[in-house]
Amino acid sequence: MEISDPQEMEGLRSELQKAGVFVTTMEFIYNWGRSSSIWPLQFGLACCAIEMICTAGARFDLARFGAEVFRPSPRQADLMIVSGTVTKKMAPQVVRLYNQMPEPKYVITMGACAISGGPFKQGYNVLKGVDRFIPVDVHIPGCPPRPEALIHALVTLQKKISAQTTLPREQGDVSNRAYDKGDQHYPVPQLGAHDIVPPFNPEVWHPEPVRRDS
Amino acid sequence: MEPYSYNYNYLLVAVLGLLGAGFGLAPILIARVLAPRKPSSTKNSVFECGLEGSGDPWIQFHIRYYHYAIAFVIFSIEAVFLMPWAAAYLELPWTGILGMALFLLLLAEGLIWMWSKGYLEWK
């Protein structure tokens, strides 16, 4: 019997559970494993990093969600928490580190600076949002966001991961890009004479066109 | 195999070793099967905190650092060898005593060498 509708699958699961039969899918177990052990990359960029460190500490205890294992190497990390202002000098390194992380990988932008440049948006040296170069999964507003907000972002990411289709039944039937056949490499920007080159990655960043009423 | 015999004990060690190796290897093998592989030149390059690596890692240390090596052997390696030797001191045959005496003699020679060269002075 082929069941492709997730709602139908959920109904069948609860029906069987009433009869004392527990059924699950490989995808559910796989996604449960991935979402329950998200290892972040250990790096901080600005004051948001202090809140991130606090989240990993005893009071807020990120370990409750399986994400306390901050890895000092991108080879072992799943999650990049961009915690702070990304300057144009730092942007190439951030993109490079993202490229060095193995798939599947996720990005949380923490705070106004990582989202849009925040209070330093007018600065000549500040990148106006890290989503110009790398795909972001969860944005957390705040300046800085409280540890609870980071935990909320992590739980949001866990929900997102749990809903992803990773083991395709048919070709191209995956919602997680890491499991596509295609490449997941993002070009690293370089420091140019006046600005970073290119100023954004058109593959990732699709800004709303500016509308002026006149 | 006879239970509680000499070889039986080693069978337990072998089983434990196999279980330990399996526990370590299983996640690596599962990851090899499940994880998507997308190598790129950036990903395969050296990790240098996000920067591009420069220079050759296979550098040679200058010969003038030899006295650090001597000091390391005298004050670090010596303790590692002396500890088990001292624990088994009473059961050792005379060759054990002689061997350690030879080793200590060589180290003492190194210490005297360093002392006379003035490397033990804090400058």
Q: Does A96 sit within 8 Å of B40, measured CB to CB?
A: no
pLDDT at B24 over 90: yes
As a whole number, mean pLDDT of residues A188-205 equals 89
Quote the ipTM score.
Answer: 0.71
Whether residues B12 and B40 share a domain: the answer is yes
Residues B38 and B78 in one domain: no
Residue A175 touches chain B, beta carbons under 8 Å: no
Q: For residue B102, is it left (φ>0), alpha (ψ between -120 and 50) or beta? A: alpha
Distances (CA, A) of A43 to A85, B4, B26, B50: 12, 54, 30, 11
Least confident of A13-17, A36-40, B86-90: A13-17
The residue type found at A87 is T
User: Does the pLDDT of residue A77 top 80, yes or no?
Assistant: yes
Amino acid identity of residue B1, one-letter, is M
Domain region containing B92: 63-117
Bridge partners (DSSP) of residue A107 are: A80
Yes or no, beta carbons of A188 and B49 under 8 Å apart: no
Q: Which of B28, B32, B43 to mutate to test the interface with A (most CBs of A within 10 A)?
A: B43
A39-165: what fold?
Answer: Rossmann fold (3.40.50)
Among A32, A94, A96, A167, the strongest candidate for a mutation testing the B interface, having the largest count of B CBs within 10 A, is A96
Q: Going by C-beta distance under 8 Å and a sequence separation of 6 or more, which residues neighbour residue A200?
A: A132, A133
B35 within domain boundaries: yes
Same domain assignment for residues B70 and B108: yes
How confident is residue B55, by pLDDT bands cut at 50, 70 and 90?
A: confident
